[in-house]
C-alpha cells in the first residue's frame, strides 16, 4: 500500500510551462496547495540549454523580472537567414520573413538557468518542488478520471514487475493534474490514448 498525499494541484515537470503554471496558481490564490515533480536531479537538468526567449509571457507573469535578477540579459542583436546547400550558403533578406521569425526584443538565454530562477520564484510563493522525483504511473478514480500520479517508485524490472529492491513510492492526488513533461512525455501519451484526445 502506498502513502497518499493530497494537493490542490499536482504538476509533473519543472520546465518553463510547469513552473509558470505553479507561479500563476499561487499568484491567483496563495492558499492553493501546489506541488511540482521533476525527474531530473535538479530543476533545469532535463531542459534545452540555449534558446531565444520572447519575454512577453514572462513580463505578464512576473512584470518585474529584470529587477528580480532573472538570468535574461543578452538581447538578440541581429537576425540572419541563410539558405544552406552543397556549395555553401546564400543569405536571404529578412523582409519576407513572417513576424514570428523576427527576434527584435527577444533574448538569448540558457533555459536551464531560467528554469532554476523560476524555481526560486515559485518556492518563494510556497510551491513545493521535488527534483529527482520521477513519475511512473497515473492514478484514476472509480469514474475513470485522472486523480493523481505515482512518484518515487524504484526497483522495477524492465517488464514492470517488482524487483528485489522495490520501493512502492507514493501517490500524490490533486483536484487538478497538470502534465507538463515536455514533447516526449510518456504520461501525456498515455492520457491522450486513454481519452482519445
Mean pLDDT (the chain) is 94
- What's the pLDDT at 20? 98
Helix residue ranges, H only, the chain: 16-28, 56-61, 111-124, 186-195
Mean pLDDT of 114-119: 98
- What's the pLDDT at 94? 85
Mean pLDDT of 83-89: 92
How many angstroms separate the CA atoms of 111 and 194, rounded? 32
Reply yes or no on whether the pLDDT at 102 is more than 90. no
Reply yes or no on whether the pLDDT at 48 is more than 90. no
CB contact set of 126 (below 8 Å; sequence gap of 6+): 26, 30, 34
Ranking 63-77, 95-109, 168-182 by mean pLDDT, the lowest is 95-109
How many angstroms separate the CA atoms of 82 and 63, rounded? 35
- Write the pLDDT tens digit of every residue in 133-188: 999 999 999 999 999 999 989 888 888 788 899 988 999 999 999 999 988 889 99
Angle between helices 16-28 and 111-124 (to 10 degrees): 20
Amino acid at each position: 500500500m502506498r502513502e497518499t498525499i493530497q494537493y490542490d494541484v499536482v504538476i509533473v515537470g519543472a520546465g518553463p510551462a510547469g513552473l509558470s503554471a505553479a507561479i500563476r496558481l499561487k499568484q491567483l490564490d496563495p492558499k492553493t496547495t501546489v506541488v511540482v515533480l521533476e525527474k531530473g536531479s535538479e530543476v533545469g537538468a532535463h531542459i534545452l540549454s540555449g534558446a531565444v526567449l520572447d519575454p512577453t509571457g514572462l513580463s505578464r507573469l512576473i512584470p518585474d523580472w529584470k529587477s528580480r535578477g532573472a538570468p535574461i540579459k543578452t538581447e538578440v542583436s541581429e537576425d540572419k537567414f541563410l539558405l544552406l546547400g552543397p556549395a555553401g550558403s546564400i543569405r536571404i533578406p529578412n523582409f519576407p520573413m513572417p513576424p514570428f521569425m523576427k527576434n527584435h526584443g527577444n533574448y538569448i538565454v540558457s533555459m536551464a538557468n531560467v528554469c532554476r530562477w523560476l524555481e526560486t520564484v515559485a518556492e518563494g510563493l510556497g510551491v513545493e518542488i521535488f527534483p529527482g522525483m520521477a513519475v511512473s504511473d497515473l492514478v484514476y478514480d472509480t469514474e475513470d478520471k485522472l486523480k493523481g500520479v505515482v512518484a518515487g517508485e524504484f526497483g522495477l524490472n524492465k517488464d514492470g514487475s517488482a524487483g528485489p529492491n522495490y520501493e512502492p513510492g507514493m501517490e500524490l492526488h490533486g483536484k487538478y493534474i497538470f502534465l507538463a513533461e515536455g514533447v516526449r512525455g510518456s504520461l501525456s501519451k498515455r492520457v491522450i490514448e486513454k481519452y482519445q484526445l
